[in-house]
Structure formats: structure tokens, C-alpha cells
Chain A
């Protein structure tokens, strides 16, 4: 049993006295009564002392009550103001009439007949009048005065401490009353004093004050883990502008100029213009008639004006094609995880901006089979062991594939899209080898991994949620990758 120094001091003083009030003990210990009571309770918890709580009630006359104590209650004063009988009208003129007449009748001192108030002779002083002179007796008299607001009562709590036999025994064995050190000082450490001073002991059952560490956002951490996976797989990271010309965002990816996804309805357009780059003619030709490939193109006239409109990029694929146009020598393995925009109204599963992950592999001899291989490997490292593939459709890939991963409790879940860039996309830039490409919405993975029902949680940061979300969450990506 480890007593604090204060408990030991109290026990040492209390033991010879057997029992005492806190005032005396406080005086002897040079402390406050409240401290004595607090330490006493600690001793009580250990069975070394008892703390008895005594409540005493004391009554006082109110100022009004004090006045009546000298002159009698109003009804007594009124009764004494006339002899046998008096007309009501006359009695009413007495200053105490209002409160007193009712009381006289209630107590049966008077009767009223035909407007005349007549004494009954039955006017012995009741318990209330006796209590008015002496409050010490309790009972109905005091209670009545209290109801009439002539008496108030105070409750006083007093304590009495007593040592138990276990306490006496401990005190008789001797108590170490040396002062305890809370904080070790430099002097104590250097001088060796630490060897002889008792250090205050702490209760490990008591929880510490909560520290909230500074931290990276849980979603950013997930993004960084995915970046790490792709870097480990030998991919180079790319980064580029949020604002793109429609040329790079759509035309270079062989999205026909009348494609519904290009409409204002789905895409954020800006008033600015960005000139088409050198070599745009090959993209134009590709749209109009398929250029020098086996493609027929989309036909019709390609508008340069439409291509020079500015948009907030709707995917990061516009960065991939620009990276390839600038890096035509194989091999190229590149990725990015960045924000993209869709003109969507906000709801729990749709946001106007979110992160997209995109990976590309360009090399001599890469095939559709390798694309599926990369997808399997990538999803496996992300913690999804089971992956399957279905045909898909994306305007800039052929063949196209929709990967699905198996998620416990949800079944097969669609997870992004992939394919090989169409020749209509690569040929204008002189890219001679197949480009395997895949992309996925990162927020979808975040929802799965963090068990979120509402995407908005990721961006409208609730500080409490970030504070409470541990940096390391076993079972998520970081662990999944290693399984």
C-alpha cells in the first residue's frame, strides 16, 4: 500500500488523537481543512481512517420574524387591539388587518357575525408563538414560521475523522515523513542528492492529459502510400497544370469535339484561351480522317477554336499524353496522383474535385496481357488480392478494360479503368510503341479503406476526425501491400 506523503502526515497526527475534527488537524498540519478532508477520504479508501459527515441544521428568525418576536405575531397584535368585539370595517383600518384577520379566523380566536368581529375567548398561544420565542425546539411551530417566511434554516456540514485499528497499526510501525520531490532538479541529479530523496510516485491508473500531435491528413497519407507503391514499381512521377486547353484534355485524347463529356454540363470551362501546340495539325487530321493510320477518324470538321478553350482538367490523362509527347524513347513508366474536376453537384458520393491516380507504361513489346499483369500487381500491392477483368469503354483506349477487385462484405467492386492508348492518340506525337494506361479514383479507395460513407469528409476537414484517426491503421494499404 503506497500512501502519499500527505496521507502519511495526516495519519501520523490523527493516530495519537484517535479522532478529531478537521479544524484541529488542519492547524496541526499547517494546511486547509478541505485538504485534511480530501486526504482523510484517501485514507478511508485504504481502510486506515473513517470520515464521518455530520449535517446540523440551525434556524434563524428573518428580520420580519425578529420584529414579531418582540411585539407578537400580527394576529396577536390585532387581537389585543380591541376588547370583546369590533365592527369589521373599523378593524380593517388597523395596519396589520390584511395579514392578521385571516390568521385570527383560521386559529379560531374570533368569529364574524353580521360584520362584527367577536372574540371567542379561545386564544391560547399556539406552537408557532412558542417557537417565536425559542427556536431550539424543532417541530410544527418552527415549520409554520418557516412557511410564513419568518424563519430560515442553515445546514452546516461538519466532519469528524477517526483512525481505524489498521491505521493505528500502520502508524505504530512508523511512517516516513520526509518531503517527496515532484520534479528532479539539475542539482539533485548532479549532486547525487537523488539517491536519498523520495520521489513522488504516480498512479498509473490515472489517464494522462491528452496530447494531439501534429499530423499529415489521413487521406494524404493514403495518397503517399500509393505513390510509394508506384515508385517502388519503378514509375516516375509527373505533375502538371490544373488548367488545360481542351486540346490536351480532349482532342489529343481523340475525344470527338461533339462528345457529351465536353459539354458545359459536365466540364468546368474558363474564359481564357490556350493556343494549340506545334504539331496540332496531326491531331486535327486524326479527328477528321484518321491521319496516316488505319483509322477513319471521326469525320467532319475539327475546330481549332474549340481546342483552344480552357478547362479545369477532367482527368490526369492529359498529363500522361503530354509526358509521352515529350518522352518518346522507350521505356516510359510514369504515374501521377492529382486533383481533377467534374461539374457535379456535391452529394455524399460526388464532388466537383477529387484525386485521380493514373499510370502508364510505354515500351517495345508491351501487350494487353502485360496491361492485365500490371493491373493485377498494382492492385495486389494495394491490398486487393483478387482482381478480375471485364471489357470496358474509354474513348482513348483500345482495347479497354474495367478491373474489378474483391472486397470482403461488398463483393466485386469496379475499380477504375484501363486500356492501351489508341493509335489515334499516340501517332500524332510519333510514339511508336504501345502505351498501357490505367486510372482510378483514389477517393473511392479511401472510402473503402477508411470505411467512409461520405466523400465530403475528406475535404471539409472535421478537425476532430483527423485528431482521432490514427496515423497507422493496420489492415489498410500500408499493411495490405506487404501481405
Chain B
């Protein structure tokens, strides 16, 4: 999540009102106040709104929301006279480039920091950790256009930021902190992306590191921006967000010629939306004029266009407007969620519990009636608990997690009984007798279904107890069953049985094997039962997805 620090002094200046008003209304535009400090507030904005990741962007939105300045913010773009060429060799590497020249910036340490943090937040939210988009800002006056975006040999060298010697790009990936952090994005490419000026001096090795040559300092007056990436839309979004944020501080924006196109234009996108569709979605009756006014508070350009339609100009920095409903949400936000008259719809339907849950509930009732206490173990478990400790062969149908966090959670359970024994283990010091049970999901062959298991641990727990419990459980669940001798290693030979229904083994019961007790550090005999609830009449058949 992107947490942005907004300094009160700067925020108040840019919004034009006091901090209390701003802070009290900020959440209602869509944000979480993380903490308020003496001189600044830390605010988390949604990842869908990267245009709010700077004080300038947040202030622009708040001016509209508070009615101080509404409607579409217009940004003038003049030609810079410089241009970029793109090497066709980059097509399969990192094909897209965006750029702009930003003049008359006035930097101090704070505003440089602010620009860097916007850049980092964009790398995260839009750039997907620089793989999709990476952004570079350069001191324009240190270099000369036209510029070239090229696929360069991996052993080409230059002086990267924070270093005082030339390094090859391969060395940078191996040694430079940024190189090590982002090497995975480029290291399989035969050539590396590189930005050079008219005199072949290196500005940047995107998406890894800029050159020391164009470092931005407090004396920087003019900026050259580059954004490179694998997604054209995202590359342009990054340009628009940075240019408009700096334009808010009084800088002037100039476009760059890239392959015959002037970039950026900072022009809005036009959409024609229906007032009725919006009213129907929100349940708020709005006239075209009212809807236009609400949209202007969200910094759209909006004019009624007749026929119940509104022409909406979507600002160039809004990356989140994919669909008309995205605009309608902004209508609701400007209208104020607190002003929506909440009321329940008259939708009539009759509630119905799911048969699997009904059977689970009845099973709980039966087990509790027999004196068992329910436990709710995890479904994630390990081969050791599920199979090794139980003296059972690993199930071929067990699911293994590809990237487990701990060695205790490597498998999805196929059986619940081992988890009950594990629960007994953690409760060793608790008073006996311990009678516990669980009902819950297991997975075999990608099918999720329910099992129940119970375990009684006390001196004297024996086969007869297990058999009697299994018998009562099956009788109460109307399962017509027979019993046969079992070969399950979890139980003692001669003291174990299999529950059979319609020729299928649906459960086991017996006295837990002493070696299994040892494996779980248990000191008393355990009588146990496990039953597949698919055997219960009325349990729904395997549901295939539509």
C-alpha cells in the first residue's frame, strides 16, 4: 500500500484551507489516515489512484472535493524542440518510452524528496516493481538532445548514481545495490536498454539506475523525464502523473517528439455517460446538471450533452477510469457516502442452508451428544503429521503447496485424525479424559469434501470404545454400514476396523498404535474414529464448476 506523507504547511498552501478541514474530509474521498504527526500526516491512498501519491495530486483532488476549485485542471504543453528515437532492437526487451521536458522547477531538499517518493510509489503501484514501468528524472542542462533509447551491449560502461567510477552494466547488476535489487527484470536479455544523448553520454540504464551525470540537485532548473516499460498505457500514465504534479507547482511542461508523436499531450479523454444508468446504479436521483456539478468536484470536465447524457472529460492522470461505472463511483463519492439514504431492497428470496453444512451441523450435534469437544484445526499440515507419524503411506492425491511458509504447512490435509492427535499433543498437560472431534474440509484428487474424526484419550480407551462410537455415529447419520478388518498402520493390529458402505471403505476406527502415540508424544491410549461424510445419504455429489 502506498502511504504518502503530506506536510501540513505545504498541503494548506496548496489546498487553500486549514488542516482540520482537510484531515476530516480526506477519508471520505477514499483514503486511510495512518497517523497524524506534529508537522505532517501520513495517508494511505488506494493503489487505483496513483495520481494522489503526491502532495500536489492530493491537494488538487481535495480542492475539488471541498469545492475550492472544481472542474478539469488544464495544463499547457509547449514543444521542447527535442526528440527521442527508439531502437527497434528493444521491441522484445522493453519497447515503450515516454518522456517530457519540465522547465522552471524550483527544488529544495523537501521537494526533491517529494518527487523521489512519488517516483517510488509509482514504481510500486503502476510499475509493478519497475518491471512494467520505470521512471527516470534527469538534469536536462547536463545533456544535449536529441536523445536515443537503445539496446546496448551488456558490457557498455558508464558511471552510475552514487559511484565515482565507470562500471559495465553487467558489473552494475552484480555490484550496485539497485542493480542487485532489479537485475531479475533484465538479466536474461541479450542487450540492455540504455538512454544516451546526442554526444552518446549515458543518462540511464532503465529500469535499473541513472547515470551520475544527470543527478538532480537543488540547483536543477530543468528536468528531462523518461519512462520506459512493457505496457504503453502504464508508461504514459506515469508521464502524465509526474508532469501534472510538477505543473501544479508552477513548472512548465514541454513535449518531446518520439517517433513522430508529441508526448505528452496532457489532454483529457472524453466519455459520454448516461445520467439514468448512473442514477440506477447508485439509487440516487440526479438531474444532468446536478450530476455534472458533482463530477466537477471530482475534477472532471462535465457538461450535459442532451438526451440524458453527459460529456465527461477524464483528466489525463486518472489511470483508474476503465469503465463508466468508475465515473459513477466518483459521483457517489462527491455526493457523499454519508448522504446516501441507505435502505434495504425488497428482493424476496427464501433462505436455504447448504446440505453439506446441514450434515456438518448434525454431525456436531451427535459428537457433542457423545461427550466430545469440538476443535478447529488448520487444513494446512505436513507430510510428517499426516503420514509419517501416522504410519500411513503418503497419499498420492494429497496436494502440496508450492511455496510453503513453514515446514508445518506443506500439505493440504486428506485426513483429520492426525490433526486431532496433534491437538492432543498440545493439550498433554490438560486433564483427562480428553474427548475431541472435528468436522471439516479435506481435499483428495482436487475434490473438496467433508470428513469427521474423533479421538478419546484416557487410561482405558480401547477398541470397544472406538467401535461403539463409530457404530453410534453411523446409526445416527443413517449410514447402512458393515465392518471389516483394517490394515491401517495408525491403529493396533487386531484392534482396528474399516467402515464399509456400498462396497466402499468410508472410515476407520480402532485403538491408535503405540508407535503413533510415541510420535505425537502421547502417554495414554487413544480410541479414534474417522468417517467420510460423503457416505451420508443426502450429501451432494461432486459439484463441477459451470
Contacts and interface: CB of A to CB of B under 8 A. Distances in A.
Interface of A: 212-217, 219-220, 224, 227, 230-243, 248, 258, 260, 264, 268-272, 274, 277, 290, 293-300, 310, 312, 322, 325-326, 330-333, 336, 339, 341, 343-346, 352-353, 361, 363, 365-370, 372-377, 388-393, 398-401, 420, 422-424, 434, 458-464, 466-467
B265 interface: no
Contacts of A467: 373
B332 A277 contact: no
A299 B337 contact: no
19 contacts: A212-B373, A213-B368, A213-B371, A214-B369, A214-B371, A234-B348, A235-B349, A238-B354, A298-B322, A310-B446, A344-B405, A345-B406, A368-B282, A368-B283, A389-B340, A460-B377, A461-B423, A463-B436, A464-B431
B340 A368 contact: yes
A353 B349 contact: no
A467 B380 CA distance: 25
A242 B371 contact: no
A178 B377 CA distance: 58
A370 B378 CA distance: 36
B417 to A, nearest CB: 15
Contact of B351 (A232, A239, A298, A400): A232
Interface centre among B132, B322, B350, B426 (most CB of A within 10 A): B322
Contact of A216 (B46, B48, B364, B443): B364
Nearest to A336: B354
Given A331-B348, A463-B430, A463-B434, 13 more contacts: A214-B369, A234-B347, A234-B349, A237-B354, A237-B357, A299-B233, A312-B412, A336-B354, A375-B342, A376-B342, A389-B338, A459-B377, A466-B375
B341 A393 contact: no
A269 B401 CA distance: 6
B447 interface: yes
B149 interface: no
B198 interface: no
B342 A372 contact: yes
Interface of B: 27-30, 46-49, 128, 132, 231-233, 271, 280-284, 322-326, 328-329, 332-333, 337-338, 340-345, 347-354, 356-357, 361, 364, 367-380, 399-406, 409, 412, 423, 426-427, 430-431, 434-436, 441, 443, 446-448, 543, 545-546
A388 B374 contact: no
A369 B378 contact: no
Contact of B340 (A298, A372, A400): A372
A393 B330 CA distance: 12
B446 A274 contact: yes
Contact of A227 (B333, B340, B357, B371): B357
Nearest to A389: B337
A216 B374 contact: yes
Contact of A294 (B324, B347, B364): B324
Interface centre among B132, B328, B374 (most CB of A within 10 A): B374
B337 A295 contact: no
Give the residue among B232, B271, B353 with the most A Cβ atoms within 10 A.
B353
Give 8 nearest A-B pairs by CB, closest first. A367-B283, A369-B283, A372-B342, A393-B46, A399-B329, A391-B30, A461-B375, A231-B351
Contact of A422 (B128, B325, B342, B426): B325
Given A269-B403, A420-B281, A239 B357 contact: yes
Nearest to A296: B322
Nearest to A332: B349
Contacts of B370: 214
Contact of B323 (A232, A332, A424): A424
A400 B341 CA distance: 16
Nearest to A398: B325
Contact of B377 (A248, A344, A461): A461
B281 A299 contact: no
Nearest to B351: A231
Nearest to B437: A214
A390 B27 contact: yes
Given A242-B448, A295-B323, A365 B340 contact: no
A268 to B, nearest CB: 5
Contacts of A363: 345, 347
Contacts of A295: 322-323
Contacts of A366: 345, 347
Contacts of B345: 361, 363, 365-367, 370, 373-374
Contacts of B377: 459-461
Given A213-B371, A242-B443, A237 B352 contact: yes
Contacts of B446: 241, 243, 272, 274, 310
A268 B403 CA distance: 7
A463 B48 contact: no
Contact of A353 (B332, B333, B380): B380
A369 B284 CA distance: 7
A294 B323 contact: yes
B325 A399 contact: yes
Contact of A466 (B281, B352, B373, B401): B373
Contacts of A220: 364, 374, 376
A399 B282 contact: yes
A264 B403 contact: yes
Among A233, A345, A365, A460, which residue has the most Cβ atoms of chain B within 10 A? A460
Contacts of A346: 405-406
Contacts of A345: 405-406
Central interface residue in A238, A366, A391, by most chain B CB within 10 Å: A391
A346 B280 CA distance: 44
A196 B205 CA distance: 107
Contact of A352 (B341, B343, B380): B380
A227 B347 contact: no
A243 B399 contact: yes
A326 B545 CA distance: 9
A277 B283 contact: no
A352 B374 CA distance: 21
B353 A227 contact: yes
A269 B371 CA distance: 39
Nearest to B357: A237
Contact of B353 (A237, A325, A399): A237
Contacts of A373: 342-345
B373 A269 contact: no
B412 A271 contact: no
Contacts of A365: 280, 345
A277 B546 CA distance: 7
Given A220-B364, A260-B128, A370 B399 contact: no
Contact of A270 (B343, B367, B402, B543): B402
Contacts of A343: 403, 405
A348 B434 CA distance: 26
Nearest to A237: B354
B545 to A, nearest CB: 6
B379 A242 contact: yes
A271 B412 CA distance: 13
A399 B132 CA distance: 27
B204 to A, nearest CB: 23
A221 B282 CA distance: 36
B352 A236 contact: yes
A230 B351 contact: yes
B351 A235 contact: yes
A224 B405 CA distance: 31
A392 to B, nearest CB: 7
Contacts of A434: 281
Nearest to B277: A294
A146 B454 CA distance: 64
Given A215-B368, A234-B349, A269-B402, A466 B128 contact: no
A212 B373 CA distance: 9
Contacts of B409: 352
A322 B378 CA distance: 25
Contact of B376 (A241, A274, A458): A458
B281 A368 contact: yes
Contacts of A300: 231
Contact of A214 (B324, B328, B426, B435): B435
